[in-house]
Structures are given as structure tokens and as C-alpha cells.
């Protein structure tokens, strides 16, 4: 059996007396689409921080393609193909979309050295940036300043910046948060169109997005896995309805 692209085994993390992550185990096969849902404060972002290396667990392991990366920091995990969508405020607001995408790929390729070679004049990198812009729906915005993009387009660019690092595993924390229904549809189409060479774990509150995109869903509650199953399992689960879906349709 091939190892999962991404796995968490018994992850545990406390902040003082608060157990934010309680023995969380999950595995995403290569090419899989797996969603994490759960109420506010359930520990979803904390789990991402443990997976990406931003936080070290108190116990448990993180594996990428079967390799234990628990002791690696964020850079080491990025080198092994893990990417996380950039937070909105870490965009390069003063750069054009093309320059931002080229910068992200240059940094992923080896940082400072790439700057000295004037990567912004490298036609291959420019072509790659244009291809990524097209993939995330920004083909006609290559010359626009990132900071001037509409909100939905900024979030599309965040995905593009993560893609520019050529990840094998992509972590997306609420990619449709704050979006209009139209922007949400565009984001869903973008995510649905990503190639299966990329494994995706996505935190998402919009149940339409979750049920459309994911093959597996993990429900977190008070830091622990309440349930894992197919979208159909989640939809028909009494405990999930009571604890989560019900709360959101009131």
C-alpha cells in the first residue's frame, strides 16, 4: 500500500489548560480532497499549524508521503512539497500579480540567489507565472497591483502563490471566507479544477463547497475528531446535525 500523502497520528496540543488538539488522527491519500469542518474554536487552524510546522505538537506525529516530518519546521516541510495558502495580509500588495507569482516561485526555488539572477526577466518563470494566473482565474490581471485586486481575486491570488511553489500537498484555511456567492462559486471551480497531482486538505465553513469538493470529511469538535466519513455520512449523521449543521441553519 502506498503511504498517504499527508497523515496526522495522535496529534496533541495544549495552550495552558486548553486542549486545542486532542489525539487527532487522519490520513489523506495522494490526490485526495479532504475537508475539515467544525464550529468556531474547534481547533481547525491549530491542526493546520501542527501540520505545517508553525506549531510543534505536545505528542503525535506528522507524516508527508510516509516520512516523519514532526521535527521539521515549516521550511523543511515546504521543501517536501507542503504548501499552505498565504494569509491575506502576507500578499505582496505593491507588486503586480505577475511579479508576485514570480517572486513566490523564485523563493521556493532557492531564495536570495534567484533575486540576484533577476528572476523577473526570466521568460520561463514569466510563462509559469502566466500559466498559474490562468489556472486561478487571473489571466487578465497579470499587470494589476495585488493590493488593488477585488477581495475574491486576492484570495484567488493566494492560491496562486501557493501553487507557484509547486506543492504536492496543499492546506487551505477557509478559502471562501468572506466571499460573495459569486466569488465562492469561482473559488469552488478553481479548486475543483486543480490537478490530482496535488493533494488537498481544506478547512471550510461553506457546506456546499465541502460536499461538492471533498471525498472525505473530518468533523472536529473541542479539538477532537467527532466523526470522519464521506460527505453522505456527514450529511446523515445525527450527532453532526445536532452539533454543527443545525447550529448553522438556525
Ligand X SMILES: Nc1ncnc2c1ncn2[C@@H]1O[C@H](COP(=O)(O)OP(=O)(O)OP(=O)(O)O)[C@@H](O)[C@H]1O
Identify whether the C-beta of residue 45 lies closer than 8 Å to the C-beta of residue 212. Answer: no
Q: Is residue 172 a contact point for ligand X (CB under 6 A)?
A: no
Q: How far apart are CA 56 and CA 73, in angstroms?
A: 8
# binding residues, Mg ion (CB under 5 A):
2
Phi, psi of 99 (to 5 degrees): -65, -40
Residue 238: CB atoms within 10 A of its CB come to: 8
Give the nearer residue to Mg ion in terms of CB position, either 23 or 45: 45
Q: Is residue 175 a contact point for ligand X (CB under 6 A)?
A: no
Give the nearer residue to ligand X in terms of CB position, either 119 or 244: 244
Q: Is 60 left (phi over 0), alpha (psi -120 to 50) or beta?
A: left
Q: How far apart are CA 31 and CA 4, in angstroms?
A: 9
Within residues 4-63, the interface with ligand X by CB under 6 A covers: 15, 18, 20, 38, 40-46
- Interacting stretch for Mg ion, rule CB under 5 A, among 19-27, 42-50, 54-62, 115-123? 42-50
Q: Is residue 45 a contact point for Mg ion (CB under 5 A)?
A: yes
Give the nearer residue to Mg ion in terms of CB position, either 33 or 44: 44
Which residues would be at the binding site for ligand X (CB under 6 A)? 15, 18, 20, 38, 40-46
Amino acid at each position: 500500500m502506498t503511504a498517504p500523502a499527508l497523515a496526522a497520528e495522535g496529534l496533541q496540543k495544549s495552550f495552558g489548560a486548553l486542549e486545542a488538539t486532542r489525539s487527532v488522527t487522519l490520513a489523506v491519500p495522494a490526490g485526495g480532497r479532504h475537508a475539515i469542518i467544525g464550529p468556531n474554536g474547534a481547533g481547525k487552524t491549530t491542526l493546520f499549524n501542527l501540520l505545517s510546522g508553525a506549531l510543534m505538537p505536545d505528542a503525535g506525529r506528522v507524516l508527508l508521503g510516509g516520512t516523519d516530518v514532526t521535527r521539521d519546521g515549516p521550511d523543511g516541510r515546504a521543501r517536501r512539497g507542503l504548501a499552505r495558502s498565504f494569509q491575506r495580509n502576507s500578499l505582496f500588495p505593491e507588486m503586480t500579480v505577475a511579479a508576485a507569482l514570480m517572486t513566490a516561485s523564485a523563493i521556493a526555488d532557492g531564495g536570495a540567489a534567484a533575486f540576484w539572477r533577476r528572476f523577473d526577466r526570466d521568460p520561463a518563470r514569466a510563462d509559469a507565472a502566466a500559466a498559474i494566473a490562468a489556472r486561478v482565474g487571473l489571466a487578465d490581471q497579470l499587470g494589476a497591483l495585488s493590493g488593488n485586486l477585488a477581495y475574491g481575486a486576492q484570495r484567488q491570488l493566494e492560491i496562486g502563490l501557493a501553487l507557484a511553489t509547486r506543492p504536492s500537498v496543499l492546506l487551505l484555511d477557509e478559502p471562501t471566507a468572506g466571499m460573495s456567492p459569486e466569488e465562492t462559486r469561482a473559488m469552488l471551480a478553481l479548486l475543483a479544477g486543480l490537478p490530482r497531482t496535488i493533494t488537498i486538505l481544506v478547512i471550510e465553513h461553506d457546506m456546499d463547497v465541502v460536499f461538492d469538493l471533498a471525498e472525505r470529511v473530518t468533523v472536529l469538535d473541542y479539538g477532537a475528531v467527532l466523526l470522519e466519513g464521506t460527505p453522505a455520512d456527514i450529511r446523515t449523521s445525527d450527532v453532526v446535525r445536532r452539533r454543527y449543521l443545525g447550529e448553522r441553519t438556525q
